[in-house]
Structure 1
Amino acid sequence: MANIERVEFMMVDLAPKVVRTDAIQSFVSQETPIVRITDSDGAMGTGYSYTIGTGGPSVIALIERTLAPAILGRDAEEIESIWRTMLFCTHATTVGPITAIAMAAIDTALWDLRSRRTGIPLCRLAGGAQESVPLYTTEGGWLHIEPEALVEDALQAKARGFAGAKIKVGRAPQEDVRRIARVREAVGSDFELFTDANQAFNVDEAIRRARLLEPLDIGWLEEPLPADDHTGHIRLANATTIPVAVGESLYSISHFREYLQHGACSIVQVDVGRIGGITPWLKVAHMAEAFNVAVCPHFLMELHVALCCAVPNARWVEYIPQLDAITTQSMRIEDGQAFPSQSPGLGIAWDEQEIARRSLLAGEVVA
């Protein structure tokens, strides 16, 4: 038994490589909490999560004052038990993003530590179901981008072997249709096009827009409604032939259960950083499998590639480079397929010097 002796934490802020806009916001900052856990044998695991510009210091404070002290002295292999300890010691602040993001940073560090200790890469340790997963790109589909540039980016992605691209919606209904129609005409029928509304619509507007988009053979309509509008998603799913995708703004296993039980979604986009770590991510993925629903996680491609290859029902990895500035090696991509690292750990090659240089907040809790 190797007990947790030290929990180090820090936060770096990563500026996106391109301008990112959607129907409700601009993504100008990626606060990235990073946690290192060291056990009594000297083994260390590194984990992380993220925000899109606000809340990072609150995440760090929760780790420092509540979560890290609660796990000191625990057996690092008791990942499930530790996750539940974190859940109950933050009972008054769950379910919610700040708590889930903080828990995710610790939980991913524990999985990294386990993988390094065993010498088994995460993609196999968590299941080993697939060798690779197809990529679709979001980086060229932001809402401010004009149709000519949307077409150019989609054609470039197709030439690189990518099998799909995502285009943000939220302009006037017919303008959204024209933008997507231009891309569909250019890429042909053998290339998937996805749409993402970022929770911008009410249910009537979403139904209207979905029916306008149906002739364009859309792969899914993502986050059409506020994530807590469960009944609205049921209405929408029953009113359109376009698959409805949800998950990036759900922070609880039980919320995914409700969506799946009531047929309120066709695609599950569970996000490690927002569900509370790898431990609950795997539960949601397998629950979706039981409902014969595909997993296509949101963001975090450098980590999700391993988890998608761990489960049989993962269909896509979303291409949005996130960690290039603080890593020494990028995710392996060949012919539009994402391949997980075969090295022990999360498969992320951290640049420790660059992390230290960029760190805005840092500290540690020691047993």
Structure 2
Amino acid sequence: MARVTRARAFMVDLVPKVRRTDAIQSFKSQETIFVVVEDAEGARGMGYSYTIGDGGPSVLALLQHTLLPRLMGQDADRIEAVWRDLLFHTHATAVGPIMSLALAAVDTALWDLRGHKTGLPLHVLAGGAKAEVPMYTTEGGWLHLSPEALVEDALAAQAQGFRGSKVKIGKPALSEDAARLGAVRAALGDSYEIMTDANQSMTAAEALRRVPMLEQFNIGWFEEPLPADDIAGHRRLQALSRVPVAVGESLYSPGQFADYITTGACGIVQADVARVGGITPWLKVAHMAEACNMAICPHFLMELHVSLVCAVPNAPWLEYIPQLEDIAAPMGRADGMALAPQAAGLGIEWDDDRLRAQTVAGSAFEITEGTP
């Protein structure tokens, strides 16, 4: 039994190097919550979770007062059992983002620990379907950018081997969205994939108005057109659209994905490993989608998701948004392909000195077995 005897947590606040805007918000910062777990044999694993600028201290509080004390003494080898125990222990606050984000930090740390103890990288531990995956970039598709800037970034990405770009939509006028997408399509050609993301900004009627325009430009998917809890609206929209509807970054449990999949309310699922509660539930969603002949194209966190999309057979894309460059070595990539890390565990090469230097004052704490 690999009994968990110690855990510590801390937070690092990462400010984006470029301005990131969509139809409803700006990305202020990445509050990155880390959890390090240690077993009785001295083996360690480090996982993480994140917010986009708000809620980080609440995630840390849930870890400090509830999840990490509950984790002490449990068998780190039994990740499924631990995940289910922690989920049930917090069932009065589930399902929701704070609980899922906190649980994800623990779960990813346990998978990292397992990788280090077995010597295997995450993409092999979790399935080993492939060793690389095509990337599309979102970093140059933000809503405030002009059509000219969108084209310039997409051309540069294409020259680097990227196979596609995501363009944020949700301008006040349909004609503005059409001008942005039309410029990119005209400049990049028919073989370059263009995805769109409305970030839950539209009414059902407004989203339906945009479908013919998206079909005209052969758009790869229409992401989060409606509020995430509007399953019926997404189902009606998907039934009337030849463009796949993509959802998932704002869903927080496998059960929520099941509702979308079984009712035909989406064509692509986009589970975020942090927001869905960790690697354990992410794999459940991926296999659920596979069983329904559906792709999973995860949201954000490319340095962690690269291993997961290479673990399963139904993940055709990795989203490129660099965010960890100040605290970790760059993710491996070549000719527009992301390469599955070969190092044991999560395979992220953290810079310990920078992590210490950038830890938010007062955020760090430690829990040990026997702590009252």
Identify whether the pair has TM-score above 0.5, normalized to the shorter chain: yes
Letter in 1 for 2:288: M
How far did 1:211 drift?
2.0
For the residue of structure 1 that corresponds to 2:9, the secondary structure is strand
Where in structure 2 are the equivalents of 1:248-327 lying within 5 Å? Answer: 248-327=249-328
How far did 1:212 drift?
2.3
**Runs of 4+ residues deviating >4 angstroms:** none
Where in structure 2 are the equivalents of 1:193-272 lying within 5 Å? Answer: 193-272=194-273
Letter in 2 for 1:215: Q
Where in structure 2 are the equivalents of 1:103-252 lying within 5 Å? Answer: 103-171=103-171, 172-252=173-253
How far did 1:35 drift?
0.3
How far did 1:33 drift?
0.2
How far did 1:90 drift?
0.8
Q: Which residue of 1 is the match for residue 73 of structure 2?
A: 73
Deviations 1:77-116 (A, max 9, x none): 1100110111111111111000000000000000000000
Letter in 2 for 1:287: M
Aligned counterparts of 2:125 and 2:117: Cα–Cα separation in 1: 11
Q: Which residue of 2 is the match for residue 364 of structure 1?
A: 366
Aligned counterparts of 2:160 and 2:327: Cα–Cα separation in 1: 25
Unpaired segments ≥5 residues, structure 1: none
Aligned counterparts of 2:93 and 2:268: Cα–Cα separation in 1: 28
Aligned counterparts of 1:181 and 1:130: Cα–Cα separation in 2: 34
Deviations 1:170-225 (A, max 9, x none): 11211100110000000000100000000001111111112222100000000000
Q: Does 1:9 align with 2:33?
A: no
Letter in 2 for 1:27: F
Aligned counterparts of 1:277 and 1:17: Cα–Cα separation in 2: 26
Letter in 2 for 1:290: A
Letter in 2 for 1:334: A
Aligned counterparts of 1:56 and 1:109: Cα–Cα separation in 2: 17
For the residue of structure 2 that corresponds to 1:13, the secondary structure is strand
Deviations 1:127-185 (A, max 9, x none): 00011110000000000000111000000000000000000001121110011000000
TM-score (norm 1): 0.99
How far did 1:239 drift?
1.1
How far did 1:364 drift?
0.7
TM-score (norm 2): 0.98
How far did 1:121 drift?
0.7
* Matched positions, count: 366
Aligned counterparts of 2:240 and 2:207: Cα–Cα separation in 1: 10
Deviations 1:215-256 (A, max 9, x none): 000000000000000000001001111110000000010111
Aligned counterparts of 1:200 and 1:66: Cα–Cα separation in 2: 35
Aligned counterparts of 2:156 and 2:2: Cα–Cα separation in 1: 49
How far did 1:56 drift?
0.2
For the residue of structure 2 that corresponds to 1:136, the secondary structure is strand
Aligned counterparts of 1:322 and 1:96: Cα–Cα separation in 2: 24
Aligned counterparts of 1:2 and 1:332: Cα–Cα separation in 2: 31
For the residue of structure 1 that corresponds to 2:5, the secondary structure is strand
How far did 1:352 drift?
1.0
For the residue of structure 2 that corresponds to 1:272, the secondary structure is coil
Letter in 2 for 1:322: Q
For the residue of structure 2 that corresponds to 1:150, the secondary structure is helix
Aligned counterparts of 1:135 and 1:212: Cα–Cα separation in 2: 25
For the residue of structure 1 that corresponds to 2:207, the secondary structure is helix
Aligned counterparts of 1:29 and 1:118: Cα–Cα separation in 2: 35
% identity of equivalent residues: 60
